[in-house]
Amino acid sequence: MQHFRISNVNIAVDGEAVSGSVTVKDGLITSVQAGVLETSASDESVIDGQGGWLLPGFIDVHVHGGFGADFMDANREAYDTITKYHSQHGTTTMLATTMTEPSERIRKVLEAADEYRSAPMPYARLGGVHLEGPFISPDWMGAQNPEFRIDPDLDLLEEWHAAYPDLIKQLTLAPEREGALKMIDWLAKHGIVAAAGHTDARYDVMEAAADAGLNSAVHTFNACRGLHHREPGTVGAVLTDDRIHAELIADGHHVHDAVMKLIGRAKPAGKLSLITDAMSAAGLEDGQYELGGQPVTMKDGVCRLTHAGNLAGSTLTMEAALKRFIQASGWTVPQASLLTSTNPAALIGLAEQTGSIHAGKWADLVLLTDELEVQQTWVGGQSVFQSEEA
């Protein structure tokens, strides 16, 4: 359906609620109208939102996989599986996120993602690649494999970028490691998000990194130096430096609800995004899985390294993250939608195309019930998921 209107919905527009309808034509939003519009009972181009919520499609800048597939699998079948699964939970754009692996395996992911983006993508679109590592701290490996960790190697990054220009959208590194500040400066000059993560950076190092162009922090509070009142550390810099965008895994396991509320108060409205950090086990039953070549045990939906017990990604969806953050923070649905759509779009340079509901933007939309259950997802005006109840 290329020309349709979604009516009788509460629309999230720039953090506020507008009751009305949204018209879509040829993949773009053409109008957002407040109030009730008269429609014919036989008009098949009108979708009744039944008083639910219409939000901009979710944008997940940190996701490793889902429903048994991992982006490190580096093939179209796996990427279809991941994008299909997460589109069922409202995600319309995501970054294929790598693990700390040998350089040749990371290059295969770049090759596969580039090829995947060159053809029509049937579900959620890949907005690019997020390289999580391998340039991280040996002291904060989390669920990353220490065997393949290396210090920042700008020659290697330049090689990847030259082979696949405009594909790498974000890179996670430890700012305290030798060569990191030079790499951060290069990333900033090339329009790539430089994100601190898996890091032991002290506060002063984080500030120097922000001066060099560091502009984000992955899974804030996890796998990094924490907050101390005499040495604010990585977390202290993320909470207080408005240049640094913060990612948050809002699943109640990685971060306590009270801390979600805290970061919601500390960060400016445009400098916080929700992510899933979902691994291949997302959407599946408890059992044994693998992440970055390491065995993972999922119990009660929580994934941990089998041998060490470290949290290993998550089984979170953006749909669930939205609900949990609202519950923890007390934010309204339109306010929280900034964290799932508008802010991540701005972070990775897609704000002109998507991330908000305005005329001229891509028709990347998600329809939810009052209980915030996903009913339908559209990517570029194409329905990629519709629940049986819708």
219 annotated as ligand-binding: yes
230 annotated as ligand-binding: yes
H/E stretch holding 9: strand 3-13
Go through the chain and tell me how many residues it has.
390
3-state SS class at 267:
coil
Q: Residue 159 contacts by C-beta under 8 Å, 6 or more apart in sequence?
A: none
User: Do 247 and 217 touch, CB atoms closer than 8 A?
Assistant: yes
- Start-to-end Cα distance in the chain: 16
Residue 277 falls in the annotated catalytic set: yes
143 annotated as ligand-binding: yes
What whole-number distance in Å separates Cα of residue 328 and Cα of residue 311?
Answer: 21
C-beta neighbour count of 23 within 10 angstroms? 20
**How wide is the angle at C-alpha 274 spanned by C-alphas 171 and 61, nearest 5°?**
30
Q: Residue 236 contacts by C-beta under 8 Å, 6 or more apart in sequence?
A: 203, 206, 227, 228
132 annotated as ligand-binding: yes
**How wide is the angle at C-alpha 214 spanned by C-alphas 113 and 344, nearest 5°?**
50
Q: Which of 322, 284, 275, 245 is nearest to 97 (CA)?
A: 275
3-state SS class at 203:
helix
What whole-number distance in Å separates Cα of residue 195 and Cα of residue 197?
Answer: 6
What is the DSSP code (8-state) at residue 71?
G
Q: What is each CA distance from 313 to 219, 246, 275, 277, 383, in whole angstroms?
A: 10, 17, 11, 5, 29
198 annotated as ligand-binding: yes
Indicate which residue of 200, 241, 277, 364 is catalytic: 277
Q: CA-based Rg of the chain, rounded to a whole angstrom?
A: 20
DSSP string for 208-249: HHHHHT--EESSTTSSB----SSS-HHHHHHHH-TTSEEEEE
C-beta neighbour count of 290 within 10 angstroms? 15
C-beta neighbour count of 107 within 10 angstroms? 17
222 annotated as ligand-binding: yes
Which positions make up the binding site? 132, 143, 198, 219, 222-223, 230, 254, 311-313
User: Which parts are annotated binding residues for Zn(2+)?
Assistant: 132, 198, 219
Q: Which residues are catalytic?
A: 277
Annotated binding site for substrate: 143, 222-223, 230, 254, 311-313
